Structure 1
Amino acid sequence: MPALQFDEQHIKQVIDRVVDRTFNMDFHWDWPGGVAFYGVCEAYEATGKREYLDRLRVWVDENIADGLPPLSVNGVSIGHCLLTLYEATGEEQYLQIAKEMAEFLDTKAERFAEGIFQHTVNSVTDVFPQQAWVDTMFMAGYYLLRIGHLLGNQRYFDDGLRQYHGHEELLQDPDTNLYYHGWDHMNQNHMSSIYWARGNSWAALTMSKALKYIPVQHPSYMIIDGSMRDQLSTLVRLQSPEGLWHTVLDDESSYLETSGSAGIAAALLTQGRMYNKYTQKSIDGILARIKDDGTVTGVSAGTAVMNDIDGYRQVPEKRIQGWGQGLTLAFLAQILRTKEDLYGQTMTKSAAPEVSRSTAPEMSASTEQASESSEARSGVETL
């Protein structure tokens, strides 16, 4: 594949603008800020620009001083930035709150079936009994992997893997390899059965991130790698000429959506040169949707599992959204990593816990085939 073409300094300037615009938004202690500030942390790690972390620290400290709201599965996503703050500063207050979030997931979060998290939000009126949403792979599954690895906590780490495997079993369509938005366990169906772009980006991006924490010889690595590989293979064939993806992936009449496109493209960038012809188009297409003031445009509003395809088509896309800022920053940071190879296979802080083999479900023949690609992904290729 041809090498990616981009101006490193220009990407850094765009990151600067997007970060600045993000800090001029207003956030509660909830998932929109969680995703936005996850992106800021990605930008900090890729650029080393301490200013980003310092501004984040001010926001977090002010919210801690004001008192924090009750927790939910979605709301735990704010913990991603706490882990980065702790790793960068060593300040125990960030780790303590992050531990409380993990303990909430471990002991209090509602579950169904084989320990799968019920989708919950910071609202007493919005209730989704025994529903699994693909969002949870980022909000809670990836969080448990990160904190389990950081603390060397086997229980948290295994629970993170359980969420990945459980959501794959419930949400990934074996025929298309795309992820459905949600699963209703009470009615045993996928509700509107929509392949939603941002939902597929939650799955693809967090699977690509999860693999660096899992030993390559463990079955969970092969299962997650296989799920992601098959999903990405389908996704690239649904990319628009503009380098983006439709908000309903297989519906060309639905609008092109930026946040989902950014998350998908970020996952593609982790696969070395294989997908360069697709990610090159995404670089151009996503940059074209960022205004001079750092506003990411074309981002769909917060989206529940809608009743039908028309519901997804009609979700508004005219406002700035925290998840649009955050996923775009994650994408821009990953562009820089393809040049500087900042990811590699280097682990952070503590050694990974011994991953329990009982966490992984029995592999089918299709997941066993995923091992073919594991050696090829022993490190992120440079340009």
Structure 2
Amino acid sequence: MLQMNDKKLYNDWAAKTSDSVMKRRPEINTKWEYEDGVVLQGMELVFNKTGDKKYLEYMMKSMDLFVDENGNIPKYSSNEFNIDHINNGKVLLALYEHTEDERYKKAADLLRSQLTNHPRTSEGAFWHKEIYPYQIWLDGLYMGSVFYARYIKEFGEEAEFEDVMKQFTLSYKHTRDEETGLLHHAWDEKREQPWCDKETGLSKHYWARSIGWYVMAIVDVLDYIPESYEGRDVLLNMLEETVEAMMNYQDKETGVWYQIVNQQERKGNYLESSGSAMMLYAIAKGVRKNYLSQDWFEKAEHIYKGIIDEFILTTKDGLVNVNKICQVAGLGGKDKRDGSFAYYISEPIVTNDHKGVGPFILASAEMEMLYEERK
């Protein structure tokens, strides 16, 4: 085990960061946004860990801004066929489990019905969005497939897990680089998008957060796939191969990752917090659940220390700031994002965006649980 100040590392960061969110945002949002679901999933872990109902109550209050008395979600439109809009469904399923309020189940049913009709590639992978046709983005595995698996476990049939598995096997097959083991951000089946290689259909770069979404999706889906299920080993292999590949590009001094994973020395590249926190979450949960060997614990502590040293500050009011978050990165669309290195480093670098705050809560909660189990 690393010799370090455990009090700095294991300092209730998950709860403190959740408390900071609640103080800053008494109402989480006016829009149905996937990143808020990531924060609320972190709070679910904090609630499960502490038993403090204020976290559950905030989850309820946040979803009740969107779910009406009949279980409808007026600010959500299924016919946009946007896989990002599915992510908050995990929070709805958690609330149904904790409260048995049928509104949350009905709202989750609406999201599940989108997946039934969602457009797919010729092999059966969900398009990222209808406005991004024939495209697999790594982000989408976290947004859609984890909810899908959790819903199947609660209300579906085991045979449906085959479709969840298909999402992972197809995305892995099409985005993985054999030489490095890294995953490209996206793939265009039609090879038509301006951002893709016209021979392979692949986007140009390995974006840390997109790979982070992918490995988080794997460790979360494994919660719901039965241990006896034949495809589990495939997911476990994907997890191990991907985190091992990412370790080859880790910044050795800090333990965290650059925005563009494999171009550390390139001018303008920077250490980025959301992708680093996602990697830590996947590794810590992987160790705790025995998806990864216990040898990974020391590596996880190194990453955690780096995240806290590089990205986390506490204000004089005691609020936690999560810094150096890439605000957004995508491909194509109305902004004609070209997927170049210049594009990925041009997006704003911000503080306390929920795409970074949520993964930090999740990663901290997992590290705290892992530490307690090992004491």
Q: TM-score range by the shorter chain?
A: 0.7 to 0.9
* Aligned position for 1:268: 283
Q: Which has the higher contact order (CA 8 A, sep 6+)?
A: 1
TM-score of the superposition, structure 1-length normalised? Answer: 0.81
Aligned to 1:244: 256
Structure 1 segment 131-280 matched on structure 2, within 5 A: 131-154=135-158, 156-187=160-191, 189-240=200-251, 241-252=253-264, 253=266, 254-272=269-287, 273-280=294-301
| Aligned-pair CA distance for 1:18 | 4.1
- C-alpha contact 1:12 1:47 (8 A) present in aligned 2: no
Query: Structure 2 vs 1, CA of residues 112 and 13 (structure 1 numbering), >3 Å: closer, same or farther?
Result: closer
- The Cα offsets for residues 166-209 of structure 1, whole Å up to 9 and x where unpaired, read as 21111222222211100010016344321110011111112122
Which residue pairs with 1:33 in the alignment? 36
Residue 348 of structure 1 is matched in structure 2 by none
Tell me if the contact between 1:137 and 1:163 (Cα under 8 Å) persists in the aligned partners.
yes
How big is each residue's C-alpha offset from its partner over 1:214-249, in whole Å with a ceiling of 9 and x where there is no partner? 344433111111111011111122221212100110
Q: Which residue of 2 aligns with 1:109?
A: 118
SS in 2 for 1:132: strand
SS in 2 for 1:295: strand
The answer on whether the counterparts of 1:21 and 1:295 sit within 8 Å (CA) in structure 2 is no
Give me the whole-angstrom Cα distance separating, in 2, the residues matched to 1:159 and 1:96: 22
1:173–1:180 Cα contact (<8 Å) kept: yes
Equivalence for 1:336: 368
Distance change >3 Å, CA 85–CA 238, structure 1 → 2: same
Moved over 4 A (4+): 1-5
Contact (CA 8 Å) 2:14, 2:361: kept in 1 or not?
A: no
Say whether 1:94 aligns with 2:93: no
Structure 1 residue 283 corresponds to structure 2 residue 304: yes
- Where does residue 6 of structure 1 map in the other structure? 6
Question: In 2 relative to 1, CA 148–180 (structure 1 residues): closer, same or farther, beyond 3 Å?
Answer: same
Is the contact between residue 149 and residue 221 of structure 2 (CA under 8 Å) also seen in structure 1? yes
| Alignment correspondent of 2:74 | 67
**186-195 or 81-90: bigger deviation:** 186-195
- Using the alignment, how far apart are the partners of 2:29 and 2:185 within structure 1? 27
Task: Go from structure 1 to structure 2 and tell me whether the alpha carbon gap of 1:70 and 1:22 turns closer, same or farther (over 3 Å shift).
Answer: farther
Deviation at 1:143, TM superposition (A): 1.1
Q: Matched residues in 1 for 2:118 and 2:258: separation?
A: 33
In structure 2, C-alpha distance between the alignment counterparts of 1:220 and 1:248, rounded to whole Å: 31
Going from structure 1 to structure 2, the CA distance change for 1:282 and 1:20 (only over 3 Å counts) comes to farther
Aligned length: 337
SS at match of 2:171: helix
User: Aligned to 2:143, what secondary structure does the other structure show?
Assistant: helix
> Residues of 2 paired with 1:39 and 1:210: CA distance?
16
Aligned CA distance change for structure 1 residues 4 and 216 (closer, same or farther; 3 Å): farther
Q: Which residue of structure 2 aligns with residue 309 of structure 1?
A: 341
Q: Distance in 1 between matches of 2:187 and 2:211?
A: 14
**Letter of the 2:281 counterpart:** A
Quickly say closer, same or farther: Cα 1:256–1:324, change in 2 above 3 A.
Answer: same
Alpha carbons of 1:269 and 1:336: their partners in 2 closer, same or farther (altered >3 Å)? Answer: same
What is the CA-CA distance between 1:330 and the residue it aligns to?
A: 0.8
Where 2:6 maps in the other structure, the secondary structure is coil
Instruction: Work out the CA distance in 2 between the residues paired with 1:323 and 1:27.
Output: 16
**Contact 1:268–1:275 at 8 Å: present in 2 too?**
yes
| SS across alignment from 2:300 | helix
CA contact (8 A) 1:3 1:276 kept: no
C-alpha distance in 1 between matches for 2:23 and 2:276? 20
Compared CA separation, residues 78 and 22, structure 1 to 2 (3 A): farther
Match of 2:194 in 1: none
Q: Which one-letter code corresponds to 2:129 in the other structure? A: T
Distance change in 2, residues 1:237/1:140 (3 Å):
same
SS across alignment from 1:284? helix
1:9 Cα shift?
4.6
Shift of the alpha carbon at 1:89?
0.8
Unaligned 5+ segments in structure 2 are 192-198, 288-293, 332-336
Q: Which amino acid aligns with 1:329?
A: I
Which whole-Å CA distance do the structure 1 matches of 2:178 and 2:113 have between them? 33
TM-score (normalised: structure 2): 0.83
Residue among 36, 49, 55 paired with 2:52? 49
Aligned to 2:195: none
Deviates more, 1:9-18 or 1:328-337: 9-18
Quote how far apart the aligned CAs of 1:339 are. 3.1
- Preserved CA contact (<8 Å) 2:67 2:104: no
